[in-house]
A and B are shown apart, each in its own frame.
Chain A
């Protein structure tokens, strides 16, 4: 199973340039069409399950607006 991940977009500094949308290998990022941020841009957001936490969106983001998380397997002794 591919790793599961998620992203957090700092909406206030996202400029909706769409580079992350284009770069995402899983095609799970969109620009939120239903809202605009304080600067008037449609911010990027995760639209679907399937984020692997690969971090490619963060690498191309000119605003350093994206934090990327990836799930890790729980430690053995806890099971």
Chain B
């Protein structure tokens, strides 16, 4: 007699992520990052105490996808808004989710000072080397020579300067506790990104101060590449310029046991 087949669920949709279709383009790694954040929120049982701060850019509509409280900041100001929330409600879990135009250009002052104050918030920083929402213009993170809709013959560093390596820069600040760069271009790196998000969130939960995970991401639509080719382009061009690694791990963070 055949026994009924028994199955275990290897992977299912995280609870903190709403079961809805996103507005992101096919293959966009915002979806991957959202999922990782939701998985970590589930694992740490943070959903009921989480307040997210959305920024301006493609991820500005992140509040539609999470089953947690959200506010939407002005362009670049998410770390300031998160500071206001966290100072009023210190026992809540507060994270910002920002793109590279938002964080590394218009919001540079806010992110630097949130980090140097050791503000007890967590930042998910999506670096896809262009302004996605407005149609693929040059961002502070656009690579030298990279063609965008506002650097149409390629970013000319003579005229437009060099990209900013945000993680390396913030790591220099005494107030920052956990600053790392990961990539979302393949399953192995995605797994490592999730571990980093977990450490970042634990850093806040234990009151250890500012944490940021920079995630190298793709923008297939504006890069004019297929999703699969985008992942390859990220690996071949972005990873060499933006090396993956741990740029700041405060000893107290390093000692954490998760």
The answer to whether A and B interact is: yes
Residues of chain A touching chain B, judged by Cβ–Cβ distance below 8 Å, are 5-6, 10, 12-13, 15-19, 22-23, 39, 41, 53-56, 58-64, 66-75, 78-79
Question: Is the CB–CB distance between B10 and A70 below 8 Å?
Answer: yes
Tell me the complex Cα distance, A72–B6, Å. Answer: 6
Chain B: interface size category: 35 or more
Question: Is the CB–CB distance between B227 and A17 below 8 Å?
Answer: yes
B221 to chain A minimum Cβ distance, whole angstroms, is 11
> Which of A10, A15, A54, A55 contacts B27, CB < 8 Å?
A15
Question: Is the CB–CB distance between B21 and A63 below 8 Å?
Answer: yes
Tell me the complex Cα distance, A75–B44, Å. Answer: 31
Stretch at the interface among B29-37, B88-96, B105-113, B152-160: B29-37
With known contacts A19-B231, A59-B191, A66–B186 Cβ distance under 8 A: no
Q: Which residues of B contact A39 (CB under 8 A)?
A: 21
With known contacts A18-B226, A56-B187, A64–B13 Cβ distance under 8 A: yes
Q: Which residue of B lies closest to A56 (CB)?
A: B187
Q: Which residue of B lies closest to A74 (CB)?
A: B3
> Which of B19, B34, B228 contacts A22, CB < 8 Å?
B228
Question: Is the CB–CB distance between B7 and A69 below 8 Å?
Answer: yes
Q: Which residues of A contact B3 (CB under 8 A)?
A: 74, 78-79
Q: Which residue of B lies closest to A37 (CB)?
A: B21
Q: Which residues of B contact A61 (CB under 8 A)?
A: 31-32, 35
Dominant SS at the A interface? loop
B217 to chain A minimum Cβ distance, whole angstroms, is 10
> Which of A5, A15, A79 contacts B26, CB < 8 Å?
A15
Q: Which residue of B lies closest to A52 (CB)?
A: B10
Q: Which residues of A contact B11 (CB under 8 A)?
A: 55, 58-59, 66-68
A46 to chain B minimum Cβ distance, whole angstroms, is 14
Question: Is the CB–CB distance between A71 and B6 below 8 Å?
Answer: yes
Q: Which residues of A contact B17 (CB under 8 A)?
A: 64
Complex A-B: 6 CB contacts under 8 Å? A15-B27, A23-B187, A55-B10, A64-B34, A69-B7, A75-B6
> Which of A16, A22, A58, A71 contacts B5, CB < 8 Å?
A71
Q: Which residues of B contact A59 (CB under 8 A)?
A: 11, 187, 190-191
Q: Which residue of A lies closest to B13 (CB)?
A: A64
Question: Is the CB–CB distance between A60 and B190 below 8 Å?
Answer: yes
Q: Which residues of B contact A23 (CB under 8 A)?
A: 186-187
Tell me the complex Cα distance, A54–B11, Å. Answer: 9
A70 to chain B minimum Cβ distance, whole angstroms, is 5
Other than the given A54-B10, A70-B8, 19 more pairs (CB < 8 A) read A5-B10, A12-B21, A13-B19, A13-B20, A13-B21, A13-B22, A15-B25, A17-B220, A18-B226, A18-B228, A19-B227, A41-B26, A59-B191, A62-B27, A64-B38, A67-B9, A67-B13, A71-B5, A79-B3
Q: Which residues of A contact B133 (CB under 8 A)?
A: none
Q: Which residues of B contact A5 (CB under 8 A)?
A: 10
B133 to chain A minimum Cβ distance, whole angstroms, is 16
Tell me the complex Cα distance, A42–B57, Å. Answer: 27
> Which of B14, B21, B34, B228 contacts A19, CB < 8 Å?
B228
B36 to chain A minimum Cβ distance, whole angstroms, is 9
